[in-house]
Structure 1
Amino acid sequence: MCIRDRAGSVPVVVARERSDGAVVAASQGASVILMDDGFQNSALIKDAALIVIDSHRGVGNGSVFPAGPLRAPLALQIARTDALVVVGDGSAADGIAAQIAAQGGTVLRARLVPQAASVEALRGRRVLAFAGIGDPARFVATLRASGVEVVEQRAFADHHPFTAEELAELAAAARRGGLTLVTTEKDLARIGRAAASLGVEIVTLAVTLAFDDEAALRLFLLDRLNRARAERLAARR
């Protein structure tokens, strides 16, 4: 399935198989394909592979699930990494960053910055924060760091499919406490039209990933794109 982003300019392909999605993207005129959560997928040959690590959580206990948070052994993943994005000002990812830098990879530092309009919309409100993302605690911490009064919080598993009963309970808790429900944009997208039937407002905290060195990010991407084009031109000769 091919849809458009909010600006209507970029094709967004949703496909069960990555290879099928790439075919659809190419048919829509795409010359560059950016995969979300495709690092471990082997269906497509990648010109650049990036991983993102939270600077405070790191990689947890370093074990592969179900014993830990990793999807594959760490050493194998580091070997295939071209660039690492470390989010936040913690030090839990410093060891991995050093390994990737030592093998010639690029290390980029970034932070989540709440959008001013979102923070202003929550100013003066007492909120019930809920999220079904990889690190709900970070979402709550971001709210509090922005000056938002978080009275209650609910944490759900990553990619959690909210049920009608769960949403009704959240709405009831918000009404009891005179609280505003606040969640992430990602969670609200999963909730979808069900939000309209709750009888209470759900506000989102929009954030932007701001890179400390945007020029380094651009140089990395341009280098990889130019290298890929050169390899394809050489293969056609």
Structure 2
Amino acid sequence: MKQPIFWSNPADAPGWQAHLLAPLSKLYASATARRLKQDGYKASVPVICVGNINAGGTGKTPTTIALVQYLIARGKNPHVVSRGYGGSLEGPVRVDERTHSAEEVGDEPLLMAAFTPVWVAKARDEGVKEAEKNGADVVILDDGMQNPSVQKDLTLVVVDAHRGFGNGRVLPGGPLRESVTTGLKRGDVLISIGSPEAQERFETNWAGLVSIPRVKAALEPLQTGIDWDGMEALAFAGIGHPEKFFQTLRELGVTLLRAEALKDHQPLSTPLMKRLEVEALALSAQMVTTEKDAVRLPRAFRTHVITLPVRLSVEDWSPIDHHLSQLGLD
């Protein structure tokens, strides 16, 4: 697999473990390539995939929400189809944020359902069919870039600008589901999310491999009227990269007396929340979490925890607009 031209940080380069696991990485990449040769369902409406090459969190959910809001502002009726990671329901089922729980449909679909109709379906093609039947004029696949069950008309590849594509290796030798060059060949626009410094780091390491238009974006706190400056907090987050959330709080002026990094999608059990509440009381700290974590909170704790919502700010929509226009979504 072709590697980046230059590593700005030698620690990012493949280590001995990655080299040792190279044969398994090759097998994983080959299995993905074989699966993608299957013919998927062709919908009667445009299908936009918001996916990634990396395994784990890159910012797909805020990207999907931003795209939903952008399309609604254009008078469209987008529906989202999600696998519902961590949820027990097979689907297809439309998510109802008033009655469904994260345990049933997953935390991300529950969060997105506040913005537009969301269908959870382990078989994504069945979810797309339900969206079509219920009036969607465009379907957004939340993830599914490596799933061949549905044909995509536009694929947006999302990457964390700071982390980039890691050491450039496929699982298990690295963080990738497929090679960068292979994945980007199936993508139409690359959305790199991060600060100006992170964007510069991404360009240094990866610009030589980016063969499609790239759009820069950043996650920005939503103004809710809360005075964060000077707040003493116990923060917890079960997202892909909790440290990004903690750093955002610090940049808002919050003093973090305790920062608890949980596993992505980790259940917020009552014993766990009671422990965090006791620690917060001992520190005289306010409990703070992310929007995605907030939908997993036990009901008894929802009034005790403040949520910091963030929204994706896209620097330039024109490369995406070009494809939307071709799909009749202008």
- Using the size of structure 1 for normalisation, the TM-score is 0.83
Moved more, 212-221 or 51-60: 212-221
| Distance across 2 between alignment mates of 1:222 and 1:179 | 49
SS at match of 2:154: coil
Two-structure CA RMSD over aligned residues (Å): 2.1
| Inter-CA distance 52–143: structure 2 relative to 1 (3 Å threshold) | same
Show the counterpart of 1:6. 114
SS at match of 2:272: helix
CA shift at 1:187, angstroms? 1.0
Show the counterpart of 1:211. 314
| Distance across 2 between alignment mates of 1:111 and 1:199 | 28
85, 95, 98: which one aligns with 2:191 = 85
Show the counterpart of 1:99. 209
Query: Following superposition, which runs of at least 4 residues in structure 1 exceed 4 angstroms of deviation?
Result: none
Identity of aligned residues (%): 35
Greater RCO, 1 or 2 (C-alpha within 8 Å, sep 6+): 2
Q: Is the 8 A contact 1:106 1:220 kept in 2?
A: no
Code of the residue aligned with 1:27 in structure 2: it is: K
| Inter-CA distance 42–123: structure 2 relative to 1 (3 Å threshold) | same
Q: Is the 8 A contact 1:133 1:158 kept in 2?
A: yes
CA shift at 1:121, angstroms? 4.4
- Using the size of structure 2 for normalisation, the TM-score is 0.61
Show the counterpart of 2:217. 110
Q: Is the 8 A contact 2:154 2:323 kept in 1?
A: no
177, 181, 188: which one aligns with 2:294 = 188
| Distance across 2 between alignment mates of 1:2 and 1:82 | 28
Show the counterpart of 1:71. 177
SS at match of 1:182: strand
Code of the residue aligned with 2:287 in structure 1: it is: L
SS at match of 1:172: helix
Number of aligned positions between the proteins: 217
266, 273, 278: which one aligns with 1:160 = 266
Code of the residue aligned with 1:62 in structure 2: it is: G
CA shift at 1:175, angstroms? 1.0
CA shift at 1:98, angstroms? 4.5
Code of the residue aligned with 1:113 in structure 2: it is: E
- Map 1:212-227 → 2, pairs under 5 A: 212-223=315-326, 225-226=327-328
| Distance across 1 between alignment mates of 2:302 and 2:140 | 38
